[in-house]
Amino acid sequence: MKFICEVLHPIVRKDDAEQGALARAFNGHLRADGWELVEDAIIDGRPAYVPQRKVHALGGSVQRIKSVAATLNSNTLYEDLRRLERIGDSEPGEAIALAKEIVESCCKLILDDRKVVYPEKAEIPELLKLLRKEIKIMPDGIDENAKGSNEIRGILTSLGNIAHSLAPLRNAYGKGHGRGRDFKGLQPRHARLAIGAASTFVDFVLDRHLSQISTTTTYE
């Protein structure tokens, strides 16, 4: 895999079309074994590649969170997503920990943009309370106290709390403790639940945040 990446390296492969054709050809063969080459950096205007396991289960969720990270211009979110892309659902404990960090980061970034002060060690439940006061959860043109508003608030809180509630499981069943013969760890489905909830949550709150900020606000 390292050799293939070197074959595609921008210093070695200077023709854009040739590099792209080779990358597609390699990925066509690697896909059957659950691997793919992904862009890792841009050097001299062309991508350098690294190998990673191809994880279909988290693909859509990760892409939605990537869009949020790009809009909020957050290097922290990008770092979490890079790690998540590499492990996928193959390491559920780590994926759940990242889901919790992603939700917390999104809350804090939006509160920062709105100049809302929060405790340095605030966790998801407290951040959610502050965020709900700031963003309008009802569709445009409908009063915030209209029928169904409590239910929507409950759904929003539940989405954020999934990652928060799964985090103690990660501590109990992750890699940080010794394992006996009968050890049973978290399963990929737990990772998919946490990441799926996190992606839905951040997608919703960012949409509501952006629909309310001034049209003159820009992210640089």
CATH 1.10.10 at 59-212, yes or no? no
Residue 218 predicted with pLDDT over 60: no
Domain ranges of the chain: 2-53, 59-212
Instruction: Give the span between the Cα atoms of 196 and 60, in whole angstroms.
Output: 9
Tens of pLDDT, residue by residue over 171-200, are: 665 554 455 555 456 777 887 888 888 888
- The residue with greater pLDDT, 153 or 206, is 206
Residue type, 154: G
| pLDDT one-digit tens code per residue, 77-115 | 778 777 777 776 677 888 888 888 888 888 898 999 899
pLDDT tops 50 at residue 126: yes
3-class state of residue 194 by DSSP: helix
Alpha carbon distance 19, 10 (integer Å) = 8
- Distances in Å between the alpha carbon of 128 and those of 37, 165, 198, 212? 37, 14, 13, 18
pLDDT, residue 13, reads 92
- Phi-psi group of 148: left, alpha or beta (phi > 0 → left; psi -120 to 50 → alpha; rest → beta): left
Q: Output the CA angle 106-168-66, nearest 5 degrees.
A: 25
Query: Phi and psi for 79 in degrees, rounded to 5?
Result: -60, -45
Whether the CA torsion 156, 80, 54, 27 is positive or negative: it is positive
What is the 8-class DSSP label of residue 51? E
Question: Quick check: 84 and 98 in contact, CB under 8 A?
Answer: yes
| pLDDT score for 217 | 47
